[in-house]
């Protein structure tokens, strides 16, 4: 499949159904593991494929540009339309927050394995994003806005080259899968598993922990909070995140070297779309 525009795809979506995205208050007793050991912050995790994929912040840039162009089009047709500014990039969740399971102590402490709640500015934006406003509009406004959105996206992709999005999606998944079979990673899994067992939690790897059906609840239980806290600390003690990220980096770089033309096309698509969107935003 070939396309000019796709939304962000990432191996982290393997975890997307593991727990609900509800916010929750902190629960449970203090963790047994002391002292807490630093874990690489999610915002510092950068992988080679990031240069070809759209981050959540970049997707929002595209959406803001769409919204501005829809506004222009709607006013030309005699409709009122108020485009919304996007939240600051620092408010938007980092792309690899849950790629290796929960890695942030402050997230584990409050949300356990549940998805962290969006920050207020992001939550407010999502509650009234472009597609929500279009689908919720009266029929005549909705039809006009839908046509304007098609026109906006045609404009923003008019000079965008073709790229193989299906290849990219498949390569992301295969690289993530291969990283889990890397010898150093499997050793780190065993060390992490032993650490977790010492705290009373028995999982072969972090993906098994985050997909435990016991966590499929509206809010995290005290047990879930304790498990997530232990998980984060065991990752730090065993160096699992840095080991796993290094393996993925090597595998992704191998894929880029093996398919240079495909990745060049992917990068051209991303660059062209973002440049077009930023020009629309800068003109306001």
Q: What is the tens place of the pLDDT at every residue in 131-140? A: 999 999 999 9
Does 10 map to a domain?
no
Contact present, 175 and 11 (Cβ < 8 Å): yes
Residues 6+ apart with CB under 8 A from 49: 168, 171, 172, 175, 252, 256
In a domain, 162, yes or no: yes
Helix then strand then coil, % of the chain, to nearest 5? 60, 0, 40
Selection from 28, 19, 16 nearest residue 218 by Cα:
19
- Is residue 15, in this structure, part of any structural domain at all? no
Give the rounded distance of the alpha carbon of 243 from its chain centre. Answer: 20
Confidence at residue 9, expressed as pLDDT on a 0 to 100 scale: 37
Residue 24, pLDDT above cutoff 70? no
Q: What is the pTM of this model?
A: 0.83
pLDDT at 1: 34
> Is 199 a member of any domain?
yes
Looking at residue 160, what is its pLDDT? 86
Which sign does the torsion angle of CA 51, 121, 74, 71 carry? negative
Query: What pLDDT does 14 receive?
Result: 33
Check residue 115 and give left, alpha or beta (phi > 0: left; psi -120 to 50: alpha): beta
Indicate if the pLDDT at residue 5 is higher than 60.
no
Has residue 26 been placed in a domain? Answer: no
CA 39 to chain centre: 19
Confidence class of residue 39 from pLDDT cuts 50, 70 and 90? low
Per-residue pLDDT, averaged over 214-220, amounts to: 96
Task: Tell me what pLDDT residue 212 has.
Answer: 97
Alpha-carbon gap, residue 276 to 222, rounded angstroms: 48
**How many Cβ atoms are within 10 Å of 148's Cβ, its own excluded?**
23
Q: Which of 33-47, 153-167, 183-197, 250-264 has the lowest mean pLDDT?
A: 33-47
Residue found under tokens 């070809």: 52
Range of the domain at 149: 33-282
What does the alpha-carbon distance between residue 198 and residue 239 come to, in Å, rounded to a whole number? 17
Given a cut of 80, is residue 27 above it in pLDDT? no
Number of domains forming the structure of the chain: 1
| pLDDT band for position 21 (cuts 50, 70, 90) | very low
Whether residue 4 lies inside any domain: the answer is no
Contact in structure between 102 and 108 (CB atoms under 8 Å): yes
Residue 126 banded pLDDT, cuts 50, 70, 90: very high
Residue 2 has pLDDT above 60, yes or no: no
181: enclosing H helix or E strand: none
Range in 36-40, 161-165, 195-199 with the lowest mean pLDDT: 36-40
Instruction: Compute the average pLDDT of residues 45-73.
Output: 96
Taking a C-beta distance cutoff of 8 angstroms, is the pair 236, 37 a contact? yes
Q: 148 falls in which pLDDT band (50, 70, 90)?
A: very high
Residues 195, 201: Cα–Cα separation, whole Å: 9
User: Which token pair is 193?
Assistant: 């598993």
Task: For residue 101, tell me if it sits in a domain.
Answer: yes
């Amino acid at each position: 499949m070939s396309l000019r525009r796709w939304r962000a795809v990432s191996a982290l979506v393997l975890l997307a159904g593991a727990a609900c995205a509800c916010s929750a208050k902190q629960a449970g007793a203090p963790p047994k593991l002391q002292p807490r050991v630093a874990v690489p912050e999610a915002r510092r995790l950068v992988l080679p494929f990031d240069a070809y994929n759209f981050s959540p912040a970049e997707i929002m840039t595209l959406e803001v540009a769409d919204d501005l162009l829809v506004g222009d089009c709607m006013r030309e047709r005699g409709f009122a339309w108020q485009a919304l500014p996007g939240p600051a990039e620092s408010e938007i969740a980092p792309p690899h927050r849950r790629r290796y399971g929960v890695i942030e102590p402050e997230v584990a402490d409050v949300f356990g394995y549940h998805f962290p709640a969006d920050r207020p500015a992001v939550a407010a934006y999502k509650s009234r994003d472009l597609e929500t406003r279009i689908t919720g509009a009266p029929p005549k406004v909705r039809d006009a806005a839908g046509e304007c959105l098609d026109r906006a996206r045609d404009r923003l992709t008019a000079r965008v080259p073709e790229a193989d999005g299906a290849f990219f999606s498949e390569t992301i998944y295969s690289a993530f899968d291969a990283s889990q079979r890397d010898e150093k990673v499997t050793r780190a899994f065993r060390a992490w598993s032993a650490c977790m067992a010492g705290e009373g939690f028995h999982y072969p790897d972090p993906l098994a922990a985050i997909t435990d059906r016991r966590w499929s609840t509206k809010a995290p239980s005290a047990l879930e909070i304790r498990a997530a806290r232990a998980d984060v600390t065991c990752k730090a003690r065993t160096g699992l995140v840095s080991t796993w990220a290094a393996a993925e980096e090597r595998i992704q770089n191998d894929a880029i070297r093996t398919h240079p033309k495909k990745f060049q096309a992917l990068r051209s698509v991303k660059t062209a779309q973002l440049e077009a969107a930023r020009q629309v935003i800068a003109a306001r």
